[in-house]
Amino acid sequence: MKKLKIFLDTSVYSALYDERDSIRQKQTQDFWKNIEDYDLFYSDINIQEIDAIVNKDLKSKLNSLLEKGKMIEITSEVNILTKIYIREGIIPEKYENDALLLALTTVHSLDILISWNFKHLVKRKTRIGVNLINLKEGYRSIEILAPPEL
């Protein structure tokens, strides 16, 4: 059976080691137990966000998790779709990286964006809006899920 292709937001990597929310940490650990069932993808956004972490031990752990996936590029096509998501009010301009994650998942024909970001990504309005735009722009739909939903 073909593996689902999933893009992991940095929140899914960092939640594995974040002890401030034990329930979310446990759900993330459960998610990672089955990670071999999926083809994982990441981008420069993940790398930049992890590089910004001060704790060197945590940074090293998160970088080793990235190695389980394949890197995808932020292309001009990704940038164009990102701007459309922002222009159409799906994601506020201030949170352009969230729109980039959606565009990366879409343009690279991945199946699912996994995130713990309920403010901008994992919510009904975003799911509907992104997939309406994707349909209008000639892309297929994507799923946007939190780790326990997969």
Interior/surface letters 4-24, b for 16+ CB within 10 angstroms, e for the rest: ebbbbbbbbbbbbeeeeeeeb
Percentage of the residues of the chain whose pLDDT score is greater than 90: 93
> Count of H helices and E strands in the chain?
7, 5
The pLDDT of residue 73:
96
Burial class of residue 104 in the structure, from the number of CB atoms within 10 Å of its CB (0-12 exposed, 13-18 middle, 19+ buried): buried
pLDDT of residue 58: 93
| Entry field: residues in the chain | 150
Q: Which pLDDT score is estimated for 141? A: 98
Domain 4-149 class in CATH: alpha beta
Give tens-digit pLDDT for 63-95: 999 999 999 999 999 999 999 999 999 999 999
Residue 137 dihedral angles phi and psi, to the nearest 5°: -90, 0
